Amino acid sequence: MKIHLTSVFVDDQAKALHFYTEILGFVKKYDVDMGGGARWLTVVSPDQPGGTELLLEPSGHPAVKPYRDALVNDGIPLAQFAVDDVKAEYERLRGLGVRFTQEPLELGPVTTAVFDDTCGNLVQIATQPR
């Protein structure tokens, strides 16, 4: 068994696609019109085009808003992405205008930072020891 697809709920798929590709550097894999303005919209790591897909899923379901609001209010990231160097990625993303809610923080062997994805979520980046 392996993870093939995971998702984040987003307020605006076009805005999310821009942020996740142009700012974070993911690559669009699928963009299929699902009707009613919704799309099956996935991105992948450019280093693993056949790897795990991230679905930028519309946040229209009534349960999504209270769930995401609770996570954001408590500072809990909805997703985590691995990076080679959190501090370098933090500086790169800040230079692109990304707002961080947690600066790089060393937690034992792991370094993390948390940012706002502009689409209603907090996302954590982490560097783990090799």
Confidence (pLDDT) at 130: 72
Q: What number of other Cβ atoms are within 10 A of residue 101's Cβ?
A: 14
Which residues in the chain come in under a pLDDT of 70? Answer: none
* Total domain count, the chain: 1
Chain Cα centroid distance, residue 83 = 12
> What was the pLDDT predicted at 95?
98
Identify the domain containing residue 86 by its residue range. 5-127
What pLDDT score does 91 carry? Answer: 98
What pTM did the predictor assign?
0.94
Rounded to whole angstroms, the Cα distance separating 70 from 58 reads: 18
User: For residue 27, what is the domain's CATH number?
Assistant: 3.10.180.10
pLDDT tens per residue, range 71-86: 999 999 999 999 999 9
pLDDT the model gives residue 7? 96
